[in-house]
């Protein structure tokens, strides 16, 4: 997307914050929206225990390099790849290519390779588990409902990814579940399929309609690494197989 919709004025006032003054088409810093729902200390401890120090260090060095490599991204946009790391582009609507051979492209390729290697090493260690690793990346429905209450009602799920998920995981390029408290992440009984451009609150309402607060649901925006190199998370067949139910959330279309 590149530009996050502004927060509703009434919502901002209700939270005791100063209403936004920037134009609606300007990106907003998202860290004030949901910071109370993120537990960075728990995430860091869990990641350090699960990650070989050498490979984790390489990823952090690659991220640091990419954060200053030219060309820098347009405001509110992030690097993406849709062809397995062959080419990279910015995440805005225009999908502007990152020039091949540029310092930034090389830095993104290094980060991509570091993420891929980390996931391969972790997968090898997790093969003894009863289910695939992705099945244990569900979010607690009670947490999800609290999260949704702090998201502007007019935001789509894609807005949530661009304005919250990516900014809050940028320093580690990790999955969002990696920065949540351990109690809010668990074995997903429900696999959820949905449209990213539909209202996020509708998605959460549908989940809450059929799930209890103590249940865990698999949602791609939280369980999948939203950064280049996260292709290991995109194999959904084991997740569907291991889930108790498949929930499809779709919007009604008038004929």
Q: What are the boundaries of each domain within the chain?
A: 9-248
193-237 pLDDT, tens digit per residue, is 999 999 999 999 999 999 999 999 999 999 999 999 988 899 899
Give the chain as a 3 state SS string: CCCCCCCCHHHHHHCCCCCCCCCCCCCCCCHHHHHHHCCHHHHHHHHHHHCCHHHHHHHHHHHHHHCCCCCCCCCCCCEECCCCCCCCEECCCCCCECCCCCHHHHHHHHHHHHHHHHHHHHHHHCCCCCCCHHHHCEEEHHHHHHHHHCCCCCCEHHHHHHHHHHHHHCCCCCCHHHHCCHHHEECCCEEEECCCCCEHHHHHHHHHHHCCCCCEEECHHHHCCCCCCHHHHHCCHHHHHHCCEEEECCCCCCC
129-141 pLDDT, tens digit per residue, is 777 888 999 999 9
52-83 pLDDT, tens digit per residue, is 578 889 999 999 999 999 999 999 999 999 99
Ramachandran quadrant class, 221 (left: phi over 0; alpha: psi -120 to 50; beta: rest): alpha
171-190 pLDDT, tens digit per residue, is 999 999 999 999 999 999 99
Q: Closest Cα to residue 157, out of 128, 195, 130, 126?
A: 195
């Amino acid at each position: 997307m590149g530009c996050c919709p502004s927060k509703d004025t009434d919502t901002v006032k209700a939270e005791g914050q100063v209403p936004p003054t920037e134009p609606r088409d300007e990106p907003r810093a998202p860290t004030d929206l949901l910071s109370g729902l993120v537990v960075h200390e728990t995430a860091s401890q869990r990641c350090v225990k699960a990650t070989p120090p050498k490979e984790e260090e390489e990823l952090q060095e690659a991220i640091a390099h990419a954060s200053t490599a030219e060309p820098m991204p347009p405001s509110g946009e992030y690097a993406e790849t849709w062809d397995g790391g062959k080419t990279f582009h910015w995440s805005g609507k225009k999908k502007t290519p990152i020039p091949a051979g540029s310092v930034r492209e090389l830095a993104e390729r290094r980060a991509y390779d570091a993420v891929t290697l980390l996931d391969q090493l972790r997968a090898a260690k997790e093969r003894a588990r009863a289910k695939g690793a992705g099945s244990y990346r569900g979010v607690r429905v009670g947490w999800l409902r609290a999260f949704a209450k702090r998201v502007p009602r007019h935001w789509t799920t894609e807005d949530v990814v661009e304005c919250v998920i990516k900014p809050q995981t940028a320093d580690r390029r990790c999955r969002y579940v990696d920065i949540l408290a351990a109690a809010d992440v668990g074995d997903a009984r429900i696999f959820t399929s949905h449209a990213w451009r539909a209202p996020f609150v509708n998605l959460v309402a549908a989940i809450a309609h059929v799930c209890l607060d103590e249940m865990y649901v698999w949602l791609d925006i939280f369980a999948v690494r939203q950064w280049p190199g996260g292709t290991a998370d995109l194999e959904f067949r084991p997740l569907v197989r291991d889930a108790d139910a498949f929930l499809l959330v779709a919007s009604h279309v008038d004929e």
